[in-house]
Amino acid sequence: MADLEKRNPGEVEYLQAVHEVLASIEVVYNQNPQFERSGIIERIIEPDRVLTFKIPWLDDQGNVQVNRGYRVQFNNALGPYKGGLRFHPSVNLSILKFLGFEQIFKNSLTTLPMGGGKGGSDFQPKGKSNAEIMRFCQAYMLELWKIIGSETDVPAGDIGVGAREIGFLFGMYKKLTHQHTGVLTGKGLAWGGSLVRPEATGFGAVYFAQEMMATRRESLKDKKVAVSGYGNVAWGAVRKLNQLGAKVITLSGPDGYVYDEEGISGAKIDYMLELRASNEDVVEPYAKEFKSGVFVSNKRPWEVPCDIAMPCATQNELEQNDAHQLINNKCVCVCEGANMPCTPEAVEAIQKQGLLFAPGKAANAGGVAVSGLEMTQNAMKLHWQAEEVDTRLQQIMGAIHESCVRFGKQPGGYVDYVKGANIAGFLKVANAMLDQGVV
Ligand code: NDP
Ligand code: 2IT
């Protein structure tokens, strides 16, 4: 870690993600001296390559704007680089390296043949017109197309990148290469997309929470759930939670959170899509649209008493004091829909108290898993029914849960899902790297 900090000064999120994995795998690593001899750690923490590039584009006033674009190709031991694109002003190399690093182990856990990568830009989608989003996506792809491909590197969505952006990106890729291939996932249904991909991350996270609760002979029925975020992942989670009889009582945005005592269901779930499509990045309008909603400005939803907490917005959005509030309010389960939403101090407090805790790399793997299923359908030039995709998603989430239990069960019986996910994800990649020699 000291060496890594010296070589990557200030890359806080990346160092945080690496530290967590290394701490989890220490024992297993030391039991396998062949890993040390092959420099597995030194090789796995360094991205294979990082592309950064300039993205000049014209806004609606005819002014030139310049953003920075990235693609981090982290590790392809198990399959083509695979991972989303994030468009958000906070994007920097540290955040994309953290996300790319996590993606290696997440993708390994899915049981599908995918390596790890991540990309994006510091572009701010908020307040941009449709035409501006299109021109920006086209300008981004003008560089990216050179290093991606259906057998090389397959990007997808993340914060700020949904079906609309994937469409614009795909259009430009197709124009530049004359190829209609499965180079991106999250595509429109009519041109190679998979049913259930939009819902997959949220659905998968809820299936995972269901598996965890089952280990304590509990179900999701009638449980009160606090959800943060209001985007793609939050939307899928809220839908599935409702289907399974849980009651969702919060959503959040950068402006604060909404508390809805009556539960966020029916038309209120559809309204989440409107909120996201508005490009305004606020949740306050929910409380204007629905009388049962109360908006609490500049606060996080973790102060609301709940049985289950599902952070689905962004990294480090649930801190130690939030964890203590959840614990004091008798919350029994924290399931990460976003990537690394809980700080290390929060995770420690939650686990110490014996709550069920699922790390994002296990719980939110359903998104990339269905991306993998989209790649399979593209390769076969076939289209599966929703039931088939959903059944496979449930099987995959069940298998991930099983791996976490297998590698994370502690002597007293408590399952450390962080440890389990990291060890299971790591072992598969490390062994593949051993098989493939020093490359
Ligand atoms: P969307 O773009 O659909 O939703 C936007 C989300 O971004 C909102 O929930 C919003 O929540 C959040 N956001 C707003 N302001 C910020 C900020 N300052 N910094 C970062 N985030 C902000 O994103 P998704 O729902 O796709 O992604 C949410 C999380 O889930 C991310 O951590 C992502 O990496 C992860 N994820 C996404 C997958 C996918 O398939 N889309 C798959 C697996 C994980 P808020 O305003 O409360 O911050
Ligand atoms: O963080 C993630 O797993 C994603 N944003 C989804 C990646 C993908 O390739 O579907």
* Ligand at shortest distance from the CA of 84: 2
> To test the ligand 1 pocket, which listed residue (94, 101, 233) has its Cβ within 8 A of the most ligand atoms?
233
Rounded distance from Cα 106 to ligand 1 centre (Å): 17
Residue 249 has pLDDT above 90, yes or no: yes
Rounded distance from Cα 162 to ligand 2 centre (Å): 11
Question: Stretch 95-112: mean pLDDT, rounded?
Answer: 98
As for ligand 1, residues whose beta carbon falls within 6 Å of it are 84, 88, 90, 157-160, 162, 201, 228-234, 252-254, 276, 281, 312-314, 337-339, 364, 367
Residue located nearest, by CA, to atom 4 of ligand 2: 84
Residue 281 has pLDDT above 90, yes or no: no
Residue 278 has pLDDT above 90, yes or no: no
pLDDT at 276 (0 to 100):
87
Helix-helix angle 320-328:344-352, to 10 degrees: 30
Q: Sort 439 into a burial class: Cβ within 10 Å, 0-12 / 13-18 / 19+.
A: exposed
Q: Work out the pLDDT band at 157, boundaries 50, 70, 90.
A: very high
- Cβ(359)–Cβ(336) under 8 Å? yes
Ligand 2 contact via 367 beta carbon (within 6 Å) = yes
pLDDT digits (tens, 9 = 90+) for 186-243: 999 999 999 999 999 999 999 999 999 999 999 999 999 999 999 999 999 999 999 9
Q: How far apart are CA 101 and CA 14, in angstroms?
A: 8
> Please, how many CA atoms are within 13 Å of residue 49, restricted to the half-sphere of its CB?
8
Pick the CATH number of 47-184 from 3.30.420.10, 3.40.50.10860, 1.25.40.420, 3.60.9.10: 3.40.50.10860
Residues assigned a catalytic role: 118
Q: Where in the chain is the domain with CATH 3.40.50.720?
A: 200-354
- Cβ(433)–Cβ(38) under 8 Å? yes
- Cβ(101)–Cβ(17) under 8 Å? yes
Q: How far apart are CA 288 and CA 165, in angstroms?
A: 29
**What is the value of pTM for the model shown?**
0.96
CATH number 3.40.50.720 is the correct assignment for the domain at 200-354: yes
Residue 350 has pLDDT above 90, yes or no: yes
Return phi, psi of residue 193, to 5°. -75, 165
Q: Which residues contact 162 (CB under 8 A, 6 or more apart)?
A: 186, 198, 232, 276
Return phi, psi of residue 358, to 5°. -110, 125
Give the N- to C-terminal CA distance of the chain in Å, as an integer: 23
> To test the ligand 1 pocket, which listed residue (158, 284, 298, 373) has its Cβ within 8 A of the most ligand atoms?
158
Return phi, psi of residue 403, to 5°. -60, -40
Question: Stretch 393-419: mean pLDDT, rounded?
Answer: 97
Which helix (H) or strand (E) is 99 found in, with range? helix 93-109
Which of helix, strand or coil describes residue 286? helix
Closest listed residue to residue 338, CA positions, set 316, 319, 355: 316
Residue 70 has pLDDT above 90, yes or no: yes
Ligand 2 contact via 102 beta carbon (within 6 Å) = no
Residue 79 has pLDDT above 90, yes or no: yes
Residue 277 has pLDDT above 90, yes or no: no
Residue 366 has pLDDT above 90, yes or no: yes
Rounded distance from Cα 299 to ligand 1 centre (Å): 17
Partners of 290 in beta bridges: none
Ligand 2 contact via 100 beta carbon (within 6 Å) = no
Q: How far apart are CA 401 and CA 395, in angstroms?
A: 10
pLDDT at 280 (0 to 100):
86
Rounded distance from Cα 228 to ligand 1 centre (Å): 10
pLDDT digits (tens, 9 = 90+) for 283-300: 999 999 999 999 999 999
Amino acid, res. 201? T
pLDDT at 410 (0 to 100):
96
> To test the ligand 2 pocket, which listed residue (95, 371, 375, 376) has its Cβ within 8 A of the most ligand atoms?
371
Ligand 2 contact via 82 beta carbon (within 6 Å) = yes
* Shortest-distance atom of ligand 2 to CA 86: 5
Q: Do the bridges between strand 356-358 and strand 333-335 make them parallel or antiparallel, or are there none, so unpaired?
A: parallel
Which of helix, strand or coil describes residue 430? helix
CA-only gyration radius of the chain, Å: 21
Partners of 259 in beta bridges: 250, 294
* Shortest-distance atom of ligand 1 to CA 364: 43
Cα 196 to Cα 54, 199, 210, 358, distances in angstroms: 34, 5, 19, 22
Ligand 2 contact via 419 beta carbon (within 6 Å) = no
Residue 279 has pLDDT above 90, yes or no: no
Q: How far apart are CA 90 and CA 164, in angstroms?
A: 21
Ligand 2 contact via 358 beta carbon (within 6 Å) = no
Partners of 217 in beta bridges: none
pLDDT at 42 (0 to 100):
96
Q: Where in the chain is the domain with CATH 3.40.50.10860?
A: 47-184
